[in-house]
Amino acid sequence: MKTPETIELKSPEQTIVLHKDPFMPMVLVKGILLSIFRSSVDSPHNITFNKFSSAFNNIKLDLNKISQFKKICGYPQDTDTVPMLYLQSLFIGQFGKYITSSFFPLLPMGLIHTKQKILQTRKINQNEVLNTKFSLDKIINNEKGLELTFLLEITSKEELVWKGVTTTLSKSKKYKKRKNPDQASKTITPFTIIDVPNDIGRQYAKVSGDYNPHHLSAFFAKLFGFKRAIAHGMWSLARSISALEKQFPDNNLFSIDVSFKRPLFLPGTAMLGAIKENQNIIFELRDNVTKIPHLAGTIHIQ
């Protein structure tokens, strides 16, 4: 097993300030073209990663998108509070802008979202004006490839109200996944079945801005090596969290720590299970037929 190695981020820091949302269809096209024509990396020691950050200030939230997000993710509509999972979508443009820039030497379409952490310090009203900061935090070279961690921060009137840590993997061509099938959990009993519509990828893309092709149709998914279109990992997480909030009603704020496991193919059904241990809720989402895991995580009640 390869020993993990931290890749040094070089100075000077590359910084971008955005004054409007990037046009995501154009970002997507650029990402596809770069993935075709940009040379793949054989060794991380042959490239340079500079420190990087971007900011987008004075964001007025789109109330229609929030309403649609609540609808497709199962949140109640009778509140002015913004779902904490919706706020991660504010960084889609900054993320896309970075991985299609000259500052990013890897293939944009080769990144796999593997982990997500979110901490919210208080409830956020949909009428607040927010500022975002997106930073490349660290890079680890391990047996699977390059693991990149990004820090996401949201402030309101200089108060840090939301923080996310997004982990992605640029998989090494030499890595071969071990044949170790995931067994069904013996400790977490499912409490609800979640329906996964065939068009949920397109619906979620409209509210999040994440138009990765393998979420949109079976045709594009097959071009990327999938048998059918797959649901966004963040939709699967948001849909799970909305159900968990109903199962474990609690007025306290919380943080989420989740790992994304296997693709959730469209259409389909998934079963959500959870157990409460002290101040933690341990949960997992599995395929209703095969029982393979799609995601597993922990909610930490504050």
pLDDT at 180 over 80: no
Q: By C-alpha distance, which of 170, 168, 172 is closest to 134?
A: 168
Return the HEC string of 215-234: HCCHHHHHHCCCCCCECCHH
pLDDT at 186 over 60: no
Q: What is the pLDDT at residue 178?
A: 66
Q: What is the pLDDT at residue 174?
A: 75
Instruction: Please state, in angstroms and as integers, the Cα–Cα distance from residue 22 to each residue in 95, 97, 128, 183, following that order.
Output: 10, 7, 21, 42
Calculate what percentage of the chain has a pLDDT beyond 70: 96
Q: What is the pLDDT at residue 156?
A: 97
Q: What is the pLDDT at residue 3?
A: 86
Q: What is the pLDDT at residue 198?
A: 96
| For residues 51-59, average pLDDT | 97
Burial of 165 (0-12, 13-18, 19+ CB in 10 A): middle
pTM for this prediction: 0.94
pLDDT at 138 over 80: yes
| For residues 108-133, average pLDDT | 95
* Omega of the bond leading into 267 within 30 degrees of 0 (cis): yes
| For residues 82-92, average pLDDT | 97
Q: What is the pLDDT at residue 176?
A: 72
Tokens of 14: 């590359």
How confident is the model over 19-44, as pLDDT tens digits? 998 988 899 899 999 988 887 776 77
Q: What is the pLDDT at residue 162?
A: 98
- Asked if residue 131 lies in contact with residue 124, where contact means CB atoms within 8 angstroms, the answer is no
248-251: long-range contacts at Cβ-Cβ below 8 A with a sequence spacing of 24 or more?
248/274, 248/276, 248/281, 248/299, 250/301
Q: What is the pLDDT at residue 249?
A: 81
DSSP symbol at 89: G
User: What pLDDT band is residue 192 in, cutting at 50, 70 and 90?
Assistant: very high
pLDDT at 183 over 70: no
| Residues whose CB falls within 8 Å of the CB of residue 290, separated by 6 or more in sequence, listed in order | none
Mean residue pLDDT across the chain: 92
| For residues 112-118, average pLDDT | 97
Q: What is the pLDDT at residue 47?
A: 86
Tokens of 112: 């796999």
User: What pLDDT band is residue 2 in, cutting at 50, 70 and 90?
Assistant: confident
